[in-house]
A and B are shown apart, each in its own frame.
Chain A
């Protein structure tokens, strides 16, 4: 097969790469809130930091569904999405989100008021944490399901979701817990900052692997990566995702002092990179041409 370059086309009656246009900023916001909130809840839960858990719960159980409802063509039928548990990651994610909303909320209330103890409290915590992990990763599985969009159709997508969720969680715990949880615990502050730096570096490696994998997966993947690094979206991807979201965040996390202003700056940089990545993932997704090779 000869190396053939196809043009990027939209609705024209021409063979070429077609950009995906069905999922856009509303789904990106839902992804952002879902991963950030579950990450915040997960990290906060290790320290019984109820404020962080509550904010994470609100992000997952209020903000994310609000964005998803805006996206749906028929939100009044949204309950039907639970029907495909056997084959659809959207259904599995919905079930996890519902369980998280119920058990996560109950776990926070129980931690605060100490209503139940023993086995029941353990059950609340375990179901909340397991469903929280599923919420963190399922969006990656939803994306990795598209075989023709090489940028997404990779097993690394759930890993990206998990890593960014944990990074966002650690970053926000540093912010919300600075005057409470971390105020009289410099050891924990130091631990979380080290964890943050490690996760940022991990995000950098995963991002390189993601771009490398997509570029060599197919012609469409190569074209998507070119969009992100050289063409239409490079002016957003390179400065916001790579520089601000990873390089600047890592540098600030490594060199920055432990003042609140410095921690806030790291968080802002990290969240900008995370959100830009979510938006650009959808913008740069390209379908393979309908027939993958030329007739001649």
Chain B
């Protein structure tokens, strides 16, 4: 059984946010919900200023605080390490959202799904076909596009990334690209001090 993880090569990321668009397209997430995105950081002071980009996604932690905080068991971890949500069990208490140290849990509100993005009360055919999967009032998250992964594909964000800054693969396979990159370039986890053991790594 693989143990899926993702690596972000910060040297390659150009902050185009094609990953965020691909995720939106794949999952039809409503307004305000971004399972992945690339944030920017301004570094230095004038005239020595540069801009760095940091891709963010659910870290699918081994010891996920969102799973521990969930009182209903709606948040669970699959055998392959993907942290999932059973929306039929979620009561919408939002404990997962406050417990996630990376702020990667999102509560689905009624208004954005009912009103749509473009015209108030007039959702597009794309939104109509996509929104049926969501249960409002529940807390959702990135699933590493588990349907695509089951078909042997990469998550949409990784498949779309034009600079191959996102590397998806099996963390347990010593020959996988992700594992080799982590070892060769000293991959590190976000906020390792929280002891959540993320399955997402960064390399500089």
Contacts and interface: CB of A to CB of B under 8 A. Distances in A.
Contacts of B116: none
B101 A14 contact: no
A16 to B, nearest CB: 8
A73 B99 contact: no
B111 interface: no
17 contacts: A11-B32, A72-B91, A73-B138, A75-B91, A77-B72, A80-B89, A82-B71, A84-B73, A87-B69, A90-B95, A145-B68, A145-B99, A146-B98, A148-B100, A287-B101, A294-B41, A295-B204
Contact of B38 (A13, A84, A288): A13
B94 A15 contact: no
A22 B91 contact: no
Given A72-B92, A287-B103, A292 B68 contact: no
B117 interface: no
Most buried by A among B65, B67, B70: B70
B183 interface: no
Nearest to B104: A290
B8 to A, nearest CB: 10
B75 to A, nearest CB: 10
Interface string B41-70: 101100000101010100000000101111
A228 to B, nearest CB: 18
Contact of A80 (B37, B72, B94, B108): B72
Interface string A69-91: 00111110110111110011011
Contacts of B193: 292
A147 B71 CA distance: 18
B160 interface: no
A285 to B, nearest CB: 8
Most buried by B among A13, A87, A90: A13
B194 to A, nearest CB: 5
B95 A73 contact: no
B153 interface: no
B159 interface: no
A285 B99 CA distance: 12
Contacts of B10: 295
Contact of A74 (B52, B68, B98, B137): B137
Contacts of B194: 147-148
A78 B95 CA distance: 13
A73 B137 CA distance: 4
Interface string B163-204: 000000000000000000000000000110110100000101
Contacts of B56: 290
A146 B99 contact: yes
Nearest to A143: B98
B90 interface: yes
7 nearest interchain CB pairs?
Answer: A73-B92, A73-B137, A148-B101, A90-B71, A80-B72, A22-B94, A15-B41
A21 to B, nearest CB: 9
B156 interface: no
Contacts of B91: 72-75, 77-78, 80-81
Contacts of A292: 190-191, 193
Given A15-B41, A73-B92, A290-B56, 12 more contacts: A18-B103, A20-B97, A71-B94, A77-B72, A80-B89, A87-B67, A146-B101, A148-B100, A148-B102, A290-B190, A290-B191, A294-B52
B40 interface: yes
B38 A91 contact: no
A132 interface: no
B72 A81 contact: yes
A292 B190 CA distance: 7
B113 to A, nearest CB: 13
A142 B95 contact: yes
A20 B106 CA distance: 11
Interface string B6-21: 0000100000010000
A149 interface: yes
B101 A294 contact: no
A25 to B, nearest CB: 13
A145 B39 contact: no
Contacts of A294: 41, 43, 52
A15 B54 contact: yes
B107 A73 contact: yes
Interface in B78-136: 89-95, 97-103, 107-108, 136
